[in-house]
Amino acid sequence: MNSCQDITELELTELSSLLKQMGGEPFTASQIYQWIYKRGVTDFGQMTDLPLALRTRMAESCIVQTPKIVRTDNSRDGTVKFLLSHTDNQCVEAVFIPDTPRMTFCVSTQVGCAMHCAFCLTGKMGLIRNCSTGEIVGQVRILADKLKLLNTAFNIVFMGMGEPLHNYDRTLKAIRILTDKRGLAVPARRITLSTVGVPDALERLATEPLMPNLAISLHATTEELRDRLVPVNHNYGLSEILASCKRLPYTRRRRITFEYVLLKNINDSVDDAERLSQLVTGIQAKVNVIPLNEAPEIPYQRPSDAKINQFARILSKRGVTVSVRKSRGRDIRAACGQLITKV
């Protein structure tokens, strides 16, 4: 081999093929998966149930690339934010949110983001690059290992930095690795992918044999306002996104969550609530109302609690299942829309 193969980029079948090329037995792929994902072992020499000759060959030609923890920030509410560095020194942030009621890992799929949503700090970075499959899975591995949760049930949300559907192939491959029963074995029902809505990718996602929960970021009830808040709306309009959602087969999902960041005097009116209830009509949906997490760099404000409650009540009266997200980790800039790295 001319260069070292990063094992974290490989699904189980790919790892089996690699082992066969190296003179090993394909079934040992399951053993290696268990060492890496269930025990957090990345040194081939410590994988003691593998033949010594195979361990030696793998140590010479393979690696288990793992992000490095640069810094951790601890919130008063128990949330922990991790700054993680990859091999090229590009960094992402990942967040651990306890008691949700399950433990939840919020991970990133890109370094930065190209969506430029007006109320999100990550968008101010622009897109630096996509994360690899191994880098996405590595965030989960390192958080689970660091927090002693490798053998504990937890949720994963792709709600960190980046637009997952703009890194489609790597993100979906990461999901397949994370759900593999020989590894972390996270059920697809415990994984949520958050997206601003990319119709072509949503259509493709509907054909996948394995599909996570979906959270679609709307944030506006008119095309004009969404053009301002989510500039990519010029390419993927509300009507197109909602049409794609309606075509997703009901047997492949329980419910689509529509996320709506509430901005004072911008999208929080009675009319906005009425229009939102109409937009989601005909879709098996839940609306997650997210009061803005303020930051000096963001030119918007959080509505009053009374305004937030009024908005949610209107949706509920119109028959919409609704929840108001409780922000976690705001004091360490770990809440929704607050992730940003400065390398």
The catalytic site residues sit at 93, 336
User: Which of 275-283's residues contact partners 24+ apart within 8 Å by CB, and which partners?
Assistant: 275/221, 275/222, 276/218, 276/221, 276/315, 276/320, 277/314, 277/315, 277/318, 277/319, 277/320, 279/218, 279/221, 279/238, 279/242, 280/242, 280/320, 282/246, 283/242, 283/245, 283/246, 283/256
Looking up tokens 């970021």 gives 217
- Using the 8-state DSSP alphabet, how is residue 62 labeled? E
Characterise 166 by phi-psi region: left (phi > 0), alpha (psi -120 to 50), beta (else).
alpha
Give the CA distances from residue 71 to residues 3, 122, 131, in Å, rounded to whole numbers and listed in that order. Answer: 30, 18, 19
The whole-angstrom separation of Cα 123 and Cα 44 is 39
The whole-angstrom separation of Cα 222 and Cα 238 is 8
Give the CA distances from residue 202 to residues 162, 261, 279, in Å, rounded to whole numbers and listed in that order. Answer: 16, 21, 18
- Using the 8-state DSSP alphabet, how is residue 214 labeled? E
Chain centre to alpha carbon of residue 84: 15
The whole-angstrom separation of Cα 316 and Cα 157 is 25
The whole-angstrom separation of Cα 108 and Cα 125 is 14
3-class DSSP state for residue 164?
Answer: helix
Which strand ranges, in their side-by-side order, compose the sheet holding 80-85? 68-74, 80-85, 91-97, 103-106, 154-158, 191-195, 213-217, 256-262, 285-291, 321-324
